[in-house]
Amino acid sequence: MAIIKPISDLRNKSSEISALVHDSQEPVYITRNGEGDMVVMSIQEYRRLQRKLELFEKLAISQAQVDAGAKGTPYQAVLVKARKMINEKKLRG
């Protein structure tokens, strides 16, 4: 459920807003004069959102490449390469 607070709470109760975004792990929508004005979120949630956006961007590029006729790598080849990378990383420690 959306958490909505007036801008006066951001000014007067910033510690409570901070605790709310960290405890709920949800953004808090701030209103000004009854209209949406901004969103406040924890750094952790912001970074998670950024990683998700980066993934979507990469997926869009991949889809465009496939649509343009690019050949992909077979699943088994990707799996072998991933396992090799994981094992090499384990050995390095």
Helix (H, G, I), strand (E, B) or coil at 71: coil
Predicted pLDDT of residue 21: 96
pLDDT tens by residue, 66-91: 999 998 889 999 999 999 999 988 88
Predicted pLDDT of residue 25: 94
Predicted confidence (pLDDT) at residue 36 exceeds the cutoff of 80: yes
**In b/e form, how buried is each residue of 45-70, taking b as 16+ CB within 10 angstroms?**
eeeeeeeeeeeeeeeeeeeeeeeeee
Strand partners, 5: 30
Predicted pLDDT of residue 27: 96
State the Cα–Cα distance between residues 42 and 50, nearest whole angstrom: 12
Eight-state DSSP code of residue 26? S
